[in-house]
Structure 1
Amino acid sequence: MAFDISRRFMLTGAVGASVACAAACTTGPAAVAEAAFPASAPSVDPQILGPRDGVALLSRNENPYGPAPSALKMIEYAGKKGAYYPDIAGQKLAAMIAERHGVTPDMIAITTGSGEALSAIALIYGKKGPIVAPRLFWDTTALYAVNLGLAEIDRVALGSDMSTDLAAIEARVTAGTGLVQLCNPNNPTGLVADPVALKAAVERMSKLATVLVDEAYMELADDPEGNTCIGLIKEGHNVIVSRTFSKIYGMAGIRVGYTISSPETAAKIQSTSMSWISGVGLAAAIGSYDDTAFLDFSKGKIVEGRQMVVTTLDALDLEYLPSQTNFVYFKSGKEANDVQKAMKERKISIRGQYMDYNEWTRVSMGTIEDVEKFCKALPEVIGA
């Protein structure tokens, strides 16, 4: 039976998509080629992707339990269709995202990871004026525009508790501001802003400048629905929210992200991005977007690992910030880069120093075994 992509591919959810792709994987031109040229396993270094053998990779905020089985099934299907540009897959994913959040599909921009969207936004708005942001935030994409000479970042000091100082940021925003960029939960601190204060500040600031809220880790927060700023977009405010499949969905290497904004802003972001998103990535995202069983499993493992780290830090009487993400930002009492180096010698990868916070460093949640390895090494590394 021929695979009717217009009907089958639009089935909602991971189960429908996976069932539909199963038939497709055994038919079509790719199957003919496979029969004509029997596959032989290429000689590939198994270490070209992921952590090297024996290395606890706890530096990139990945979910090592992904991609979900529902995503892997769709990846198998998409591989068979790799000869073709993805036509309606992006539309399908946008429709799924829009339905969940109560917006229209034209308010969704699908990009190659949220990083592409954030880079595009920095380029678009950075030319209009400074990007106002907290001193610590995920600044890689903003720096992309800075390095091209198209933007500058106006960093605002954190609060005494290392939270984003919303009042201080708001005081810095003027009609000449190009963009306000926030990260909630923040990276590398892991802190979630007070939702009432955040939404009120974002609403006020959006009257003067576009406000971008990077919510890459929102699915990991204790109350994602209560903390998101998507509601402000639905009310018509000049706000952009970005999300990614790289974190809770465990697809950092597959590269799919998206933004939610006004239709006009979404079109602007999409026009500044690459014309085609990976069909494999889109298929994986469609397959796993509604896979609540996998998401719940992943969140449970992350919380378990985070509690192991917190218990270790408490036992060592080390200061840390209360995280609602898949990483913990802590103060070791040693130079962060020295701690990072000592961990590397033990085949454990963590982050080093951020900005001028020389004794603070970040450890990500990996597999439970890798987190346990970090917890056992930390007392020795800091000389406790």
Structure 2
Amino acid sequence: MTPRLRAALDDIPVYRAGEALAGLTKLSSNENPFPPLPGVLDRAVAAAAEMHRYPDLSAAELIGELAKRLGVPEDHLAVGTGSVGVLQQIVQTVAQPGDEVVYPWRSFEAYPIVVRICGAATVAVPLAAGARLDLRALAAAVTDRTKLVLVCSPNNPTGPAVRREEFAAFLDAVPEDVLVVFDEAYVEFVRDDHAADGLDFLATHPNLCLLRTFSKAYGLAGLRVGYAVAHPTVAEAIRKCAVPFGVSSIAQHAAIESLRRQDAMRARVDAVVAQRRRVREALLRQGWAVPDTEANFVWLPTGVQTPAFAAECRRAGLLVRPFAAEGCRVTIGEPEDNDAFLETAGRWFDGRRRVAGTAGPA
């Protein structure tokens, strides 16, 4: 006889990471192509000498550094094991069986997983034209059972960012007792002057919680450090749901040092943004219908041809992130890797156009 496990877990998918294979260029996980920022590796190595000690449970130094950098009180902050770890803490604070969580789809694939693990019901709202979030539809999907709405900006995996005016209207439309999580994992890559910055709305909306990470712009994906910014009552609840000592000393010290290297971080992000712009413009010239992107990736709407396109990239030595029957997300990498991807994308697009006699890849 086997142990009796929760039946609710039977149909919950396992989170699927971007593929990694030796000898192939990995453009499948939205990783930063640069190594750790100056001084970060040295500080992390020094912290490793104390690995026989527990890390600071409260992450006090990291919280203090974040508070200064963001201009918020320390009691507005909670840290965890990457933004997805903090997301799970957030869902645990508000959602239980019988509740609903509203989110856009396609969006970050962890959303339905963490919601269903908590036993709540998922309410997926389709994207609007241009692979953008439909904030009006998200607000309209809120019911008396809704405890949480997730808003991803820039949206992973499609790229567009939520605009300031539409986010303001959305927040006004959502009931004050429903928590809104604004997932800004890629906020440092945003260059659209009209994009919403969650910090601008935090003071006037007690039901708003921001979700950010050190995995992307700061290049600490392997150390798992994320954080939430929320009003004190919400932030305290998020901290209660944290795994004790979840953020290691090495990760805390690396994050602190990374925060102190803002100029170097911005220079690297600028380089990625420049490559992002170059890649998207080249894809548009090839004929692809690539949506706007404010993240460190591009989205190709390959539809039913998604597996074929991903296979073509693999034959060219490139790993991309396919979403079956929808599209492929491709991380911006080193310039030479981007060149190889563009060559592959152009060749495949031209081949499909010749076969189909149309201007589209699907």
TM over 0.5: yes
What whole-Å deviation, never above 9, does each CA across 1:31-53 have from its counterpart, x for those lacking one?
xxxxxxxxxxxxxxxxxxx9655
1:368 aligns with 335
1:222 aligns with 191
Query: What letter is aligned with 1:246?
Result: S
Distance 2:114 2:199 in 1: 26
Unpaired segments ≥5 residues, structure 2: 1-18, 352-362
Q: Structure 1 residue 283 and structure 2 residue 253: aligned?
A: yes
1:379 aligns with 346
2:131 aligns with 162
Tell me which moved more, 137-146 or 58-67.
Answer: 137-146
How far the C-alpha of 1:224 sits from its partner, in A, is 8.2
1:185 aligns with 154
Aligned residue among 282, 288, 295 for 1:318: 288
1:305 aligns with 275
User: Does structure 1 retain, via aligned residues, the 8 Å contact 2:283–2:346?
Assistant: no
User: Does structure 2 retain, via aligned residues, the 8 Å contact 1:110–1:257?
Assistant: yes
Q: CA RMSD in A?
A: 2.2
Distance 1:155 1:172 in 2: 9
The alpha-carbon distance between structure 1 residues 155 and 141, as it changes in their structure 2 partners (threshold 3 A), is closer
1:44 aligns with none
Tell me which moved more, 192-201 or 226-235.
Answer: 226-235
Query: What letter is aligned with 2:345?
Result: L
1:14 aligns with none
How far the C-alpha of 1:176 sits from its partner, in A, is 2.1
How far the C-alpha of 1:308 sits from its partner, in A, is 3.1
SS in structure 1 of the partner of residue 180 of structure 2: strand
2:360 aligns with none
Query: What letter is aligned with 1:229?
Result: G
Aligned residue among 223, 243, 251 for 2:212: 243
2:88 aligns with 119
SS in structure 2 of the partner of residue 318 of structure 1: coil
User: Does structure 1 retain, via aligned residues, the 8 Å contact 2:130–2:292?
Assistant: no
The alpha-carbon distance between structure 1 residues 68 and 225, as it changes in their structure 2 partners (threshold 3 A), is farther
Highest CA radius of gyration, 1 or 2? 1
1:81 aligns with 50
Aligned residue among 133, 136, 158 for 2:103: 133
2:237 aligns with 268
User: Does structure 2 retain, via aligned residues, the 8 Å contact 1:301–1:368?
Assistant: no
2:165 aligns with 196
Distance 1:149 1:115 in 2: 14
1:344 aligns with 314
What whole-Å deviation, never above 9, does each CA across 1:180-203 have from its counterpart, x for those lacking one?
011011111110111122023124
What whole-Å deviation, never above 9, does each CA across 1:250-286 have from its counterpart, x for those lacking one?
1111110000011121121111111111110100000
How far the C-alpha of 1:363 sits from its partner, in A, is 0.7
Query: What letter is aligned with 2:252?
Result: L
1:176 aligns with 145
Q: Structure 1 residue 327 and structure 2 residue 294: aligned?
A: no
SS in structure 2 of the partner of residue 254 of structure 1: coil
Aligned residue among 78, 84, 98 for 1:109: 78
Query: What letter is aligned with 1:362?
Result: R
SS in structure 2 of the partner of residue 250 of structure 1: coil
Distance 1:155 1:100 in 2: 34
How far the C-alpha of 1:309 sits from its partner, in A, is 1.7
Percent identity for Structure 1 against Structure 2: 28
Mapping 1:14-25, distance limit 5 Å: none
Distance 1:326 1:85 in 2: 34
SS in structure 2 of the partner of residue 87 of structure 1: coil
The alpha-carbon distance between structure 1 residues 200 and 98, as it changes in their structure 2 partners (threshold 3 A), is farther
SS in structure 1 of the partner of residue 129 of structure 2: coil
Distance 1:224 1:282 in 2: 32
SS in structure 1 of the partner of residue 173 of structure 2: helix
TM-score scaled by length of structure 1 = 0.80
Q: Structure 1 residue 296 and structure 2 residue 266: aligned?
A: yes
The alpha-carbon distance between structure 1 residues 171 and 343, as it changes in their structure 2 partners (threshold 3 A), is same
Unpaired segments ≥5 residues, structure 1: 1-49
The alpha-carbon distance between structure 1 residues 366 and 53, as it changes in their structure 2 partners (threshold 3 A), is same
The alpha-carbon distance between structure 1 residues 263 and 327, as it changes in their structure 2 partners (threshold 3 A), is same
How far the C-alpha of 1:236 sits from its partner, in A, is 4.6
How far the C-alpha of 1:149 sits from its partner, in A, is 5.9
SS in structure 2 of the partner of residue 227 of structure 1: coil
The alpha-carbon distance between structure 1 residues 251 and 101, as it changes in their structure 2 partners (threshold 3 A), is same
What whole-Å deviation, never above 9, does each CA across 1:68-111 have from its counterpart, x for those lacking one?
12211211211122221122781111112112222211110010
How far the C-alpha of 1:126 sits from its partner, in A, is 2.6
What whole-Å deviation, never above 9, does each CA across 1:84-143 have from its counterpart, x for those lacking one?
112278111111211222221111001011111111222332316211111221131441
TM-score scaled by length of structure 2 = 0.85
How far the C-alpha of 1:54 sits from its partner, in A, is 3.5
